[in-house]
Amino acid sequence: MNLILASTSKYRRELLERLQLPFQTAKPDVDESPLPGEGAESIATRLSEAKAKAVAAQYPNALIIGSDQVAAVEGRILGKPGTHDKAVEQLRFLSGRTVDFLTGICLHNSTTGQSAGRLVPCRVGFRKLDEQTIERYLRKEQPYDCAASAKAEALGIALLTGIHGEDPSALIGLPLIALVDLLQEQGVSVI
């Protein structure tokens, strides 16, 4: 069976490449807007499955990987900032706080129509950040395409006090430990 990553994220692609399995990428056409009253866990789970299923018709004999990540602080959902000003605002808000990154992953078998998924949490503590630190960091890394405005896999690690979770790749957007489990359940051996 073909392996398809239902994402155009360079971060997810780079993570999946670590498993050394041949795969293709496909752009899922999914509205990522939260439903009224929907919490972070539900959003991540629902969207990971929706992304995998969105490309299933194009790949009738495939295992399709969908993933979605939601960052939340005290019930407030943080998206990708997109701009410098919004990133400054996010990092000011995150200074001294703890963020929950919830990453949903779904493996959809387009032959059988069955899906299996997991939700992988990761808790991240942020240092107290002054204005100069925020500006220096944003000018150097420009993490405008990352939820919570920090790249833990790069210079953003300097903004953090700790990372707590079962799978460090989940923080970057594709929980590889859970994915290996899901692939094994489908008879795919990574090693």
Residue 76 is predicted with a pLDDT of 92
Q: pLDDT tens-digit profile of 53-71? A: 999 999 999 999 999 999 9
Which pTM value belongs to this model? Answer: 0.93
Could you tell me how far CA 97 lies from the centroid of its own chain? 20
pLDDT of residue 142: 96
pLDDT tens string 132-191: 999 999 999 999 999 899 999 999 999 999 999 999 999 999 999 999 999 999 999 999
pLDDT in tens, 24-38: 999 999 999 999 999
User: Which residues carry out catalysis?
Assistant: 68
Specify the pLDDT at position 136.
Answer: 98
pLDDT band, very low/low/confident/very high, at 75 (cuts 50, 70, 90): confident
What CATH architecture is 2-185?
Alpha-Beta Complex (3.90)
Task: Kindly state the percentage of the chain with pLDDT values over 70.
Answer: 100
Q: Is residue 104 a contact partner of residue 44, using CB atoms and an 8 Å limit?
A: yes
For residue 78, what pLDDT is reported? 92
Q: How many residues does the chain have?
A: 191
pLDDT tens-place string over residues 93-112: 999 999 999 999 999 999 99
**How wide is the angle at C-alpha 59 spanned by C-alphas 56 and 60, nearest 5°?**
85
> Is the CB of residue 28 less than 8 Å from the CB of residue 7?
yes
Strand ranges for the chain from DSSP E:
2-5, 24-25, 62-73, 76-78, 98-109, 115-126, 160-165
Q: How far apart are the first and last CA of the chain?
A: 17
| Average pLDDT across the chain, whole number | 96
Structure-block tokens of residue 165:
């979770």
Per-residue confidence (pLDDT) for residue 1, from 0 to 100: 84
